[in-house]
């Protein structure tokens, strides 16, 4: 799909990966509609539905809204576990549900494209990441059944699973932890950048044969248990 002149909804689009993806799409002539707090909570289905219904057209969705919370199992507050699942997994599904319905109304063979965001934690979850890994593993598992179902409507679905990226979330880490993460990346030895992520989003949008795939974006990093 050529993004020029198309409308894309970007959840979590005010910062980090979402902001970079929105900017990259706009650089290619797209209109990026940002869904982010406080105006739009992806766990509020009515709010998401109202936002999508208010658009004249919708050609793409980039799901970047997400949160993290780490704790050992015995001390993990159940409310916190549920919140991570609700935002990262249920919020992704809510946006897909309403965006896909809107995109199916488009004309042409390819009516839309959806890019979801998982994490390498879906595969290499570390100690304390039970909720985060479970939520992102769910996003990974959504990919193929969504791609198969939405194929009838000419809508593609892919998922990006980033490793540690230099975003506001990672800015909270101590410098020694950041340096340790960088040292573990085989090549290139650095954290990912929002621009790395955004470039892959654009490629998925433009490459019509990418469908039903989960792509790791982590410099071949495989995380240890802690």
226 or 221, higher pLDDT: 221
Query: Per the domain annotation, does 173 fall within a domain?
Result: no
Query: Per the domain annotation, does 187 fall within a domain?
Result: no
| CA 127 – CA 214 distance, rounded (Å) | 23
Q: Which domain holds residue 108?
A: 7-165+195-211
Query: Per the domain annotation, does 224 fall within a domain?
Result: no
Query: Per the domain annotation, does 48 fall within a domain?
Result: yes
Label residue 83 exposed, middle or buried (CB < 10 Å: 0-12, 13-18, 19+).
middle
Q: pTM above the 0.75 mark? A: yes
User: For residue 188, is the peptide bond before it cis, meaning its omega torsion is within 30 degrees of 0?
Assistant: yes
Mean pLDDT of the chain: 95
Active site residue ranges:
132
| CA 100 – CA 186 distance, rounded (Å) | 37
For the segment 163-187, what is each residue's pLDDT rounded down to a tens digit? 999 887 777 777 887 888 889 999 9
Query: Per the domain annotation, does 175 fall within a domain?
Result: no
Query: Per the domain annotation, does 1 fall within a domain?
Result: no
Query: Per the domain annotation, does 184 fall within a domain?
Result: no
Q: How many domains does the chain have?
A: 1
What is the largest distance, in Å, between two alpha-carbon atoms of the chain? 52
For the segment 117-153, what is each residue's pLDDT rounded down to a tens digit? 999 999 999 999 999 999 999 999 999 999 999 999 9
Nearest of 68, 65, 69 to residue 77 by alpha carbon: 69
CATH of residue 68's domain is: 3.40.50.720
Residue 162, both tokens? 């980033």
């Amino acid at each position: 799909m050529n993004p020029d002149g198309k409308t894309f909804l970007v959840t979590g689009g005010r910062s980090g990966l979402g902001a970079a993806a929105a900017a990259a799409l706009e650089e290619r002539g797209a209109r990026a509609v940002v869904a982010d707090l406080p105006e739009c909570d992806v766990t509020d289905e009515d709010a998401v539905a109202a936002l999508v219904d208010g658009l004249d057209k919708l050609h793409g969705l980039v799901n970047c809204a997400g949160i993290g919370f780490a704790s050992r199992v015995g001390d993990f507050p159940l409310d916190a576990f549920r919140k991570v699942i609700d935002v990262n997994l249920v919020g992704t599904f809510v946006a897909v549900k309403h965006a896909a319905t809107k995109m199916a109304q488009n004309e042409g063979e390819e009516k839309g494209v959806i890019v979801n965001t998982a994490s390498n934690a879906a595969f290499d979850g570390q100690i304390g990441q039970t909720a985060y890994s479970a939520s992102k593993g769910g996003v990974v598992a959504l990919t193929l059944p969504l791609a198969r179902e939405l194929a009838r409507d000419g809508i593609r679905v892919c998922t990006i699973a980033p490793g540690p990226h230099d975003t506001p979330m990672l800015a909270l880490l101590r410098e020694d932890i950041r340096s340790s993460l960088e040292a573990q990346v085989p090549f290139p030895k650095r954290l990912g950048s929002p621009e790395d992520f955004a470039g892959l989003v654009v490629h998925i949008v433009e490459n019509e044969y990418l469908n039903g795939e989960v792509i790791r974006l982590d410099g071949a990093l495989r995380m240890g248990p802690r």
